[in-house]
Chain A
């Protein structure tokens, strides 16, 4: 028996997927979820083989939900209209269903998944999320998991970002959160007029800077409102001056 989870905020949208799946006797819908929060929990609990995922959902969208899961299962997206999502799908061959879709289309998606050895394609999923994260919604906020809680950080609340091995530490007034992404990912996604990579390991929110002091012979430090000092490299200093208009 293959385990399936359907995550969509519209009850009828879930029931049509369920109805179409009745034909596939070796599949069982183990849970239906109303939003990404329920989705994260259910995926951890059931470890499904395949999920059907909507994009636009309450609080966090489908992509943000996937980012919170360590090893995401195979995904078939189902969405009505979202230019960014469709762009991401087209670029990274995971199958997707455009609502409304018919039985044949769903059968085809399942077939495609079976042909791909039932395995989630980690690399494709990562690339997909990377493309999708350039949508305007996701440049406005960062969704992180701290313990069992999911936290949505508006980007203007971010003080600075710091590289930490495979993670990035997102520093806010309430402390820091870890996200499994690279510095260059954030450098691409965040507004370059607000966030400047001041150093190989630091991206700083320029609105938080109160002054820039010289440090040792060639370097500088940016001093934040809270008093924190952020290293500024020589090239970082050039970039900062440009953005600040100095």
Chain B
């Protein structure tokens, strides 16, 4: 540079300081702008235009400043004039690069932020839905149980006390915290027994149950409160579908590294089902889908006079 133009060192340093300092300031301004304003894909032409505009601006200001500060150009102004196109193209290039990089960077980080936000929202929605599905409690069951307790208080106070206890334990179970989402099958069965005890008090001799549970299935981990809504469904289906005694069956086995549970109830194929009976089944399907991402875990078998729901739980440790 010095040799080419024969510039004194002093002037060259002042020149580069002024022009580069100015360029840096403009770059920072540009970057700052892009932090708040993100150009869309089709607007990149206008971004380029902005860069050119800034470059022209920069050129004008620096020329003016150089005229003031660098006395060398007073004597040889044509040198400054001739260097202007070179200065201009370098400025456009640098500004263009800075604009591009900062735009890309900001786009990328916003996208990433969006993704995390979306994932968070989805997780929240999923948790809320799972919680709601688990918490569904039939008001019919609750009020009728309270009515039974009311009747027992007069006739058999001890049994009334027992039923209050069972109902409380049952309700506590439905409000169990999210972190214990998976429980062992035997815990679920204890919980189910509570529920069945209450239903048996309500319906008396009409409700019978048959449990057939393989020993090895007791330790299997399953989502909490999964069997109870199916049992509730089976009871409703069975008891409201026929007038006589009703036997509800439950069978559990381990088959092919899955816990396979079948819930059976008798039904009259001519009957139209009372409303709401499909709810338990749908909520179980939905929960298993949300938890395992599979749609093939629930199966319904309707035969001449029995209705069987079979669901399979994969090994969560596998």
Contacts and interface: CB of A to CB of B under 8 A. Distances in A.
Interface of A: 9-13, 15-16, 19, 34-35, 37, 56-59, 61, 80-82, 98-100, 102, 135-137, 140-141, 152, 154-155
B155 A19 contact: yes
A150 to B, nearest CB: 11
B14 interface: no
A59 B147 contact: no
A206 B227 CA distance: 40
Interface of B: 139-140, 143-144, 146-152, 154-155, 201-204, 206, 239-243, 268, 270-275
B144 A10 contact: yes
B243 A16 contact: no
A34 B207 CA distance: 13
For the complex, would chain B's binding face be called helix, strand, loop or mixed by DSSP majority?
Answer: helix
Contact of A58 (B139, B155, B243): B243
A37 B243 contact: yes
B68 to A, nearest CB: 84
Residue from A9, A10, A154 whose CB has the most chain B CB atoms within 10 Å: A10
B240 A56 contact: yes
Contact of B204 (A11, A98, A137): A11
24 contacts: A10-B144, A10-B147, A10-B202, A10-B204, A11-B203, A12-B148, A12-B152, A12-B201, A12-B204, A13-B144, A13-B147, A15-B151, A19-B151, A56-B140, A59-B243, A80-B143, A80-B147, A81-B140, A100-B147, A102-B150, A135-B275, A136-B275, A152-B270, A152-B271
A80 B206 CA distance: 20
Given A80-B140, A152-B271, A9 B203 contact: yes
Contacts of A59: 240-243, 268, 271
A58 B242 contact: yes
Contacts of B240: 56-59
Nearest to A54: B144
Contacts of A34: 206, 243
Contact of B243 (A15, A19, A35): A35
B272 A16 contact: no
A140 B147 contact: no
A115 B144 CA distance: 29
Contacts of B149: 100
Nearest to B268: A59
